[in-house]
Chains A and B, each alone.
Chain A
Amino acid sequence: MKFQLRAIVLAWLWLGLQLLALAAPAQEFQLANGMKVIVKEDHRAPTVAHMIWYRTGAMDEVNGTTGVAHALEHMMFKGTTHLKPGEFSRRVAALGGRENAFTSKDFTAYFQQIEKSRLADVMALEADRMANLIFDPDEFAQEIKVVMEERRLRTDDQPLAQVGEALSAAAFVAHPYHHPIVGWMNDLENMTVADARAWYERWYAPNNAVMVVAGDVDAEEVHQLAQKYFGAIPAKPLPARKPQEEPAQHGVRRVTVKAPAENPYVVLAFRAPRLTDVERDDDAHALSVLAAVLDGYDNARLNAALVRTGRVANSVGADYSGLSRGPALFTLDGVPAAGVSTEELERSLRAEVQRIADEGVSEAELQRVKTQLVASQIYKRDSIFGQAMEIGGFEMRGISPAQIDRVIDKLRAVTPQQVQAVARKYFNDDSLTVATLAPLPLSEKKPAAPSGALLR
């Protein structure tokens, strides 16, 4: 015990010094057209992560054209006034780059990882497709088929993804978090190239975009390059976004999905506050710490009680992120052990939170969480891509990346009393949505209807 405490104290001393002495902050610039540029210098290796984040995602879509944000992401590789379809990727590849893109509910991001001397080249390519994308109907017709295959691969044929889709649809009735990022299949089948073009023209503008660069660069040089390649692209007035606030929930919601699988699964989602003000939103910080107490490492509360000792589950988890443009959820989930029902696992998961509500958490338990939290700030410096992702993720949700370290400070300051308080406050029936997977044997699922019709 004495040795352990000494170890912890030493770790804190060392870590504190490291954070003070060596972490280089990101630098921010803004172009006249509204595009923000954030640069994190890191000179360990001669490589760079270059990202363009657009503050538009699935939550900005409307019924009938769900999935268009993601479909447009696909179309961004299909030609500009300067490049043929597919040429973007060929050029990036020839530059020795690795690239991809991803769409979330909150944003759409595009990135390349390259040797540092190629940064200007990939900037030129991103600037070109921000301003000059073309929309060939034949290319769209092929690419929307690819998107449908993606939906089949990732959702239609994945029972847990289907449960997740059902959970969102039940937990959010008014807010557009209701619908899936890839879109409902029927919307994909009825999407037109004009829908994709309209999306691009509405949302893809420098004043709706943030460039994040991390790696072996000079911040001011990056600023100058951004000005050179993006400076001439005009800002666009952005449409007003309707808030579509999710109304308060006044009773538990339950939904079941039947799909071919072996093991049942259950996920519980509680409405939770999101992080808007780093200094004031103590509940959000306390919920982050609660999630770590429950599931921050392999002997955290849930795994220890429900998998290792209690043996009511094969796997369990807790998850919360306050970084969100829309309403946040705190989730608990698990796969029950053989002979255990999802109802019993649901009760066991909630009982673990109730135990914290009743009995609190120890200072030692919190210290363990915080030790790992602080260390992770050192470990994250091993990845420039990871750092770029973190910066972009904060920025998209309206929290300045300059606050990243301040969030860590706030998490370190969370007390046992605060953790107990949020465990009492946010885990009532009335703000709970439960989604359950009821496994079907492989042979019982009805064959799919011929393509063009829907059988769901």
Chain B
Amino acid sequence: MKKLFLALVASAALIHPAWAALAIDSWTLANGARVLFVENHSIPMIDLNVDFDAGSRRDPPGKAGLAALTAAMLARGVDADSQPGGGGAPNTPAPPALTEAQISDAFADTAAERGGGSDAERASASLRSLSSAAERDAAVRLLARLLAQPSFPADLLERDKARTIAAIKEALTKPDAIASHAFWRLLYGSHPYGQEATVASVGAIGRDDLVRFHASHYVANRAVVSIIGDLSRAEADAIARQLTERLPQGAPLPELPPVPAAQRREERLPHPASQAHILIGMPAEVRGDPDFFALTVGNYILGGGGFVSRLTNEVREKRGLTYGVYSAFMPMAQKGPFQIGLQTKKESAEQARQVVSDTLAAFLRDGPTEAELRAAKDNLIGSFPLRIDNNRKILANIALIGFYNLPLDYLDTWTANIDKVGIADIRAAFARKVEQDRLATVVVGGEAPK
């Protein structure tokens, strides 16, 4: 009891120092899993995340949606453990198989919050847990079983396929989803980034597909384990081992095809909605691109800076044409999109497009002003503490660093790199990345051009 009390007092005394660099500890396990860890004892909780190269870019042809379904179905059941002890205390019987209800109840009983999902590049499994040993160990042990021994029950696969198909059909009625699918298809064509899950592709998925996908992608040597919270390094190491020790070693994955060259294209799709949804863009930037900081500052000015951006000023503030207009770069493992997006009542679609086009043209031609550059830096540098002021945000940052092999001092040098950017850098970076006559445009709804 006394030890506990002293531990509480000690943890209360540790305050995250202002402006100090985040201490990110990183190491690689013998099984090849990469671990990133930030120690922080201010709240008795931990947050962790495991990423695999198991996103939708790895969907086999004709089976788009497999990656997402695999990630979603990890928690539908686990097999009985093959070895006695099974990661728990030695000389205990092998843990039995668990149903989805038992898994859910077990996490709830430790007060852990399990999360996860997948995007184009990563499948993720996350956990928020109390840091007290009993709860933490139980939650981690269970998550390790989900990652290593999912049972993928066939009847639940049918159920989840039906729900996925219902969601796909629903998305096909929504102008924003229709626009997004068309945008990625226009930019990437038959490249994996352009593939979307369809009724047919999900319908074609069988249990064997999940088993195979899981076996070849949920592998220790490509796992990235990120942990933050009330733990020691030794405890973090033990957790990372536990989460990955029963995963197989994976053979190298096939190389992805190159991203197609950008081509000026336009697609108009009808929709009865009162607003037109417009997306404009081209493949532009990879993670780790040397232009990253110039593009970040430049994009803030053009359309990333919310209420203060050029696009918002021209389309929303001056003309009242939209509630939301933005520009963004989405760096990915291969060239991810530059995208401009907005919604406006149908009657204004052509006018809004023209304003966007003129605004972009002026920016590409002249670059930003000194005042805009100063304001952008003031915000990006001044708001940096907001990027790392809680567990969730820090976890997302270190997971990004780990998965995309960004330098460990990425956060430490971020503001200095922003500060170095000049007008010439922005103009040059945008000239390399965004060519106005090679942009693709999607308009969902809206009136036909005159």
A interface residue numbers (CB < 8 A to B): 3-4, 6-8, 10-11, 14-15, 17-18, 21-22, 43-47, 77, 85-86, 89-90, 93-99, 113-116, 118, 141-150, 152-153, 156-157, 216, 260-263, 297-299, 304, 307-308, 311, 314-315, 335, 337-338, 368, 371-372, 374-375, 378-379, 381-384, 439, 442-443, 445-448, 450-451
Q: Return B359 CB to nearest CB of chain A, in Å.
A: 16
Given A157-B273, A383-B390, A447-B272: A261 in contact with B108 (beta carbons within 8 A): no
C-alpha gap A142/B313 in the complex (Å) = 12
Q: Are A383 and B392 in touch, CB under 8 angstroms?
A: yes
Q: Provide the B112-142 mask, 1 if CB < 8 A to any CB of A, else 0.
A: 0100000000000000101010110010000
Q: Are B132 and A96 in touch, CB under 8 angstroms?
A: no
C-alpha gap A315/B383 in the complex (Å) = 38
Question: Which residues, 380 to 426 on B, are CB-close (under 8 Å) to A?
Answer: 381-386, 388-392
Q: Are A96 and B384 in touch, CB under 8 angstroms?
A: yes
Residue of B nearest to A14 (CB): B132
Given A46-B385, A47-B389: A260 in contact with B272 (beta carbons within 8 A): yes
Residues on A with C-beta less than 8 A from B275 are: 149, 152-153, 156-157
Residues on A with C-beta less than 8 A from B5 are: 21
The winner among A11, A15, A368 for most chain B CB atoms within 10 A is A11
Residue of B nearest to A185 (CB): B274
Q: Return A117 CB to nearest CB of chain B, in Å.
A: 9
- The 8 A-B residue pairs with the shortest CB-CB distance, nearest first, are A96-B382, A145-B320, A375-B111, A299-B104, A45-B389, A89-B307, A445-B272, A142-B320
Given A96-B381, A382-B392: A299 in contact with B272 (beta carbons within 8 A): no
List 7 A-B residue pairs with CB atoms under 8 Å apart, sorted by A's residue number: A90-B308, A156-B275, A262-B170, A299-B104, A315-B163, A372-B111, A379-B45
Q: Return B173 CB to nearest CB of chain A, in Å.
A: 5
Interface size on B, residues (CB 8 A): 81
Residues on A with C-beta less than 8 A from B267 are: none
Residue of B nearest to A446 (CB): B272
Q: Return B256 CB to nearest CB of chain A, in Å.
A: 32
Q: A4-B109, A6-B134 are in contact. List 19 more A-B contacts (CB 8 A).
A: A4-B106, A18-B8, A22-B12, A44-B15, A45-B390, A85-B317, A93-B379, A96-B384, A152-B343, A157-B273, A263-B170, A298-B104, A314-B166, A338-B166, A372-B111, A378-B130, A439-B173, A443-B272, A448-B346
Residues on B with C-beta less than 8 A from A149 are: 275, 320-323, 343-345
Residues on A with C-beta less than 8 A from B313 are: 86
Residues on A with C-beta less than 8 A from B272 are: 260, 442-443, 445-448
B162 at the interface (CB under 8 A from A): yes
Q: Are A21 and B8 in touch, CB under 8 angstroms?
A: yes
Q: Are B316 and A146 in touch, CB under 8 angstroms?
A: yes
